[in-house]
Amino acid sequence: MLLKILAVGDVVGEGGQDILSRRLPALRDMAGAHFAVVNGENASGVGITPAQARRMFEAGADVITLGNHTWNRIQIGDFLDKNDNILRPANYAGRVPGRGMGVYQCQGLRIAVLNLMGRTNLNSNLDNPFKSASHLLNHGEFDIALVDFHAEATSEKGAMGWYLDGRVQAVWGTHTHVPTADCQILPKGTGFVTDLGMTGPVRSVLGIKPENSINLFMGGLPRRYEEAEGSCKLNACLFTIDTEKKKCQEVRRLDLEE
C-alpha cells in the first residue's frame, strides 16, 4: 500500500490561515493525501491560539506541529494538554504543557508524528534533539514515523535527516519560511526536504511587512512586526510511502500561489 502524507509549511498570520482554509481541502483531494501535518506556530504572527488551531483542524489538518513561538500565546497551554492532535517540540527542557509525539490511526496504520526543535541559533534551553528523537522512537509503538524538525540551521536539519535515515519514513524542516529544492530519498529509505517553506503573504520578508525587517537591519528602534498584505502562497511537500517496505518512494513539492 502507498500512503501519501502532506506536510504544510509554517502558517503565517491571518493571510496564511485564510489560504489554508480555502485551499487545503482541494489540495488534499488533488494529491490523494491520506494524512496532513501542518506547522501552525506562526498563526498569530508569533504563536497560536486555540481558536486558530481549531480553524486549521477544520481546514483538514490531522496534526498541528509547533516550534520556537509555542509559548508566545500562553493560552495555548491548556489546549496542548487536552488535544492529542497538536504537538509542541518534544525536546523542550523542563515541565511544560503538551506532548512532542503522537500516534494516530490512518488507513489501518499507526502513524507517529514527532515534533523537534533545533538548538543552533535558537533557544539553547533545549534537550538534545537527536537524543530526544532516539529515545522517543525507541520507546514508541507505531508502523510509520514522521518528523517535523523546526530548526534554523540547514546543516542541523540535514544532519537530523541522515541521523534518522532508515528509522523513520519522512523528515522535513520548518522554521526558516523559505522552501528548499532538495527533495530526496536518503540511502536507507527516508524522505527528506530541508525546509517546507511557509503558508502566508507572498510579497513579504518571511510573512511580515518588508519595511519592518528593513528597519531592524538598519538599526531602527524596535517595533512590532506586522503581517504583510496581499496575495498568499501555500508551500507543502507530498511524501509517498511504501507501507510494506516502510520506505519513502517519492518526495515532491506541492506549492501553490494566488
Name the CA dihedral angle for 168, 174, 178, 179, rounded to a multiple of 10 degrees: 30
C-alpha cell at 167: 528509522
Catalytic annotation present for 69: yes
Expressed in percent and rounded to 5, the helix, strand and coil fractions of the chain are 25, 30, 40
Contact 160, 116 (CB under 8 A): yes
In 10 A of CB 89, how many CB atoms? 29
Q: Which distant-in-sequence residues (6+ apart) come within 8 Å of 135 by Cβ?
A: none
> For the chain, first and last CA: distance in Å?
34
* Partners of residue 105 on adjacent β-strands: 110
Spot the catalytic one: 69, 150, 175, 177.
69
DSSP label of 83: -
Alpha-carbon span 247 to 44, nearest angstrom: 36
Alpha-carbon span 113 to 54, nearest angstrom: 19
- Residues designated catalytic: 69
